[in-house]
Chains A and B, each alone.
Chain A
Amino acid sequence: MSEKKPSLFLRIYAVFAYAYIYIPILLLMIFSFNTQKLNIRWEGFTFHWYEVLFQDQEVMLAVRNTLIIAIISTLVATVIGTLAALALQRYRFPGYTFSESLLYIPVIIPEVVMGISLLAFFALLGVRLGLSTITLSHIAFNVPFVTLVVRARLHGFDKAIEEAAMDLGANELTTFWRVTLPTILPGVMAGAMLAFTLSLDDYVITYFTAGPGSTTLPLRVFSMVRFAVTPEVNALSTLWVLTVFIILAIGQILQQKNRNINTKKERI
């Protein structure tokens, strides 16, 4: 893209756009320190609600559940999704078109439909709703996204490297492990990150497939927003935003370092 300076109009517009995006979040964070319980007017500064938050067992349980579900569903979805991407990008086999279309379906199904279908499915099978049903559901909607991302990465992959490796005597498995995987790793990681976010954030599908003791953070936040609208919700939100911020920032820095190392290598 051109390195010319963008017009003044665009720059001012960008400022307003980012303000529109961030002001609500910043206000949310500021009001997490409000002393007034109803959180309508600013009354004073306090950390009280953070204390309440950390003593809130329901929230802590929800955090644990959410992380377990996200980690497991991401792992499974990434593994089988990457395999599927490899299959679709490099091979032709009977049922190819069917498989490809199958992977696009979750993208076009509204979440509510997917949620109720899974509820009906688990109900029919008599499976008790809980962490396992939520995780199984999350894997289902994560896989297509992982596949999509990894396929995009595979798009520009030059098979010559693989062929070279095999010429040098490596078998398929070693080639995959030592050559292919490291090269597509950024794509795989991107897919995994996407799956992780989708799982972490999911409300609708989780709402339909949750059972006793398996509340997740989004479900809990929703409850809190509906009922106890105290600054505790703000405190929770603030911590969530900060956590996301830090994780993404670390990711960015690592990416940056990676690039620097590569440029250094090239110079050598």
Chain B
Amino acid sequence: MTIQSPKGRKINLAGLTRRLREDAKAQGLALISPTLLYLIIFMILPMILVVVISVLTRGTYGNIEYRLNFENYKRLIDPLYLRILTYSMWVAGLTTLITILIGYPLAYYIARAHSRQRSLLLFLILVPFWTNFIIRIYAWIMILRTEGLLNNLLINLGIINMPLDILYTPLAVQIGMVYEFLPFMVLPLFASLEKIENAQLEAAADLGARPWRAFLRVTFPLSVPGIVAGSILVFIPAMGMFVVPDLMGGAKTMLVGNLIRNQFLTARDWPFGSAASMLLMLLTLAVTLIYTRKAGFGEDLLV
């Protein structure tokens, strides 16, 4: 069967399909092209746009003027913005650390449970994971308010006299972040812990290792891919978070996410906001590369 291409050339359709069948490369390309095309249009192009905007100028009224300008990047080097960046890294890092500390024993417990119990336990972690995070944050606002449930409880029990000021402080933001990201850490940790073969532990025991030693020398190292995967899944979104500081921090804490959002929607300085976004992206890229190079990307955990 032959058809005519727009240029007038004859295309042998049967021949084309035959080539497609036999040529593995062509097959592969054909399969991946929809995704490739889609992501190039809706991800690469927008990002390129942001890079372009970052070297343009802000007009008087907040529109974009097409004048080349590297001022935006120079502005970023200012201690003010670097301080915001480092503070965000600190918060994100702390969140990652705390979720590891809280999540690891939990993941361990689930991994070691009997298989029927395990499904249930896993299910119980999935439910909050699937629930909208704003709702979960709101639950904490209800608890941490000055006249909220926690303070009411503590005052009624006579433990304190004056209500604790937790809400709208950095502490509240931290609590919110940890709560939000905990399932993201537990699930990859569980995935990697579950894979650890009984045989290896038994071998260690046979060789005379006590439980703690076996844990440190066998279990823990083998769970590192899970820790890495979980850390990436927590650290990166945490870096760009602006919702939690807004809702639980009383809009008093400025993290990088807030800064970028403000530049786009309040100060209407798109060029500067784009430059800040570039900086954030480079940072997360760097962190990801360092982390995965050191410990390997745990993609095989997502079975």
| A–B touching in complex (CB under 8 Å) | yes
Interface residues of A (CB under 8 A from B): 1-4, 6, 10-11, 13-14, 17-18, 20-22, 24-25, 27-28, 31, 39-41, 79-81, 83-84, 86-88, 90-96, 99, 102-103, 105-114, 116-121, 124, 136-137, 139-140, 143-144, 147-149, 151-153, 155-156, 172, 187, 197, 200-201, 203-204, 208, 217-218, 221-222, 225-226, 233, 236-237, 240-241, 244-245, 248-249, 252, 256
Q: Which residues of chain A are near B274, meaning CB under 8 Å?
A: 116, 120
Q: Which residues of chain A are near B303, meaning CB under 8 Å?
A: 152-153, 155-156, 187
Q: Which residues of chain B are near A10, meaning CB under 8 Å?
A: 105, 108-109, 112
- The answer to the question of B280 belonging to the interface, with a C-beta cut-off of 8 Å to chain A, is yes
Question: CA A97 – CA B125 in complex, angstroms?
Answer: 35
A216 smallest CB distance to B (angstroms): 10
Q: Which residues of chain B are near A102, meaning CB under 8 Å?
A: 36, 39-40, 43-44
A53 smallest CB distance to B (angstroms): 13
Chain B at the A interface: SS class: helix
- The answer to the question of B179 belonging to the interface, with a C-beta cut-off of 8 Å to chain A, is yes
Q: Which residues of chain B are near A4, meaning CB under 8 Å?
A: 112
In the complex, residue of chain B having the shortest beta-carbon distance to the beta carbon of A105: B43
Asked whether, in the complex, the Cβ of A222 is within 8 Å of the Cβ of B134, the reply is: yes
Asked whether, in the complex, the Cβ of B42 is within 8 Å of the Cβ of A17, the reply is: no
Of B21, B29, B125, B148, most A-chain CB atoms within 10 Å: B29
Asked whether, in the complex, the Cβ of A88 is within 8 Å of the Cβ of B131, the reply is: no
* 9 additional contacts (CB under 8 A) given A84-B34, A120-B50, A152-B300: A10-B105, A13-B106, A28-B138, A106-B43, A108-B236, A113-B280, A116-B261, A120-B53, A225-B247
In the complex, residue of chain A having the shortest beta-carbon distance to the beta carbon of B42: A140
B141 smallest CB distance to A (angstroms): 7
From the candidates A87, A92, A110, A240, name the one contacting B236 in the complex (CB within 8 A): A110
Asked whether, in the complex, the Cβ of A112 is within 8 Å of the Cβ of B130, the reply is: no
Asked whether, in the complex, the Cβ of A116 is within 8 Å of the Cβ of B123, the reply is: no
Question: CA A208 – CA B240 in complex, angstroms?
Answer: 14
Question: CA A245 – CA B128 in complex, angstroms?
Answer: 9
A229 smallest CB distance to B (angstroms): 8
On whether A108 and B25 interact (CB within 8 A), knowing A24-B179, A102-B36, A244-B127, the answer reads no
Interface residues of B (CB under 8 A from A): 21, 24-32, 34-36, 38-40, 42-47, 49-50, 53, 102, 105-106, 108-114, 119, 121, 123-143, 145, 147-149, 152, 179, 182, 193-194, 196, 198, 201-202, 232, 236-237, 239-240, 242-243, 247, 256-257, 260-261, 264, 270, 273-274, 277, 280-281, 284-285, 288, 299-303
Asked whether, in the complex, the Cβ of B243 is within 8 Å of the Cβ of A116, the reply is: no
On whether A118 and B42 interact (CB within 8 A), knowing A148-B299, A197-B130, the answer reads yes
Asked whether, in the complex, the Cβ of B25 is within 8 Å of the Cβ of A87, the reply is: no
Asked whether, in the complex, the Cβ of A222 is within 8 Å of the Cβ of B240, the reply is: no
Asked whether, in the complex, the Cβ of B302 is within 8 Å of the Cβ of A148, the reply is: yes
Can you pick out 11 interface pairs between chain A and chain B where the beta carbons lie within 8 Å of each other?
Answer: A2-B201, A21-B128, A84-B34, A93-B26, A109-B284, A110-B284, A114-B43, A120-B53, A136-B42, A148-B302, A240-B132
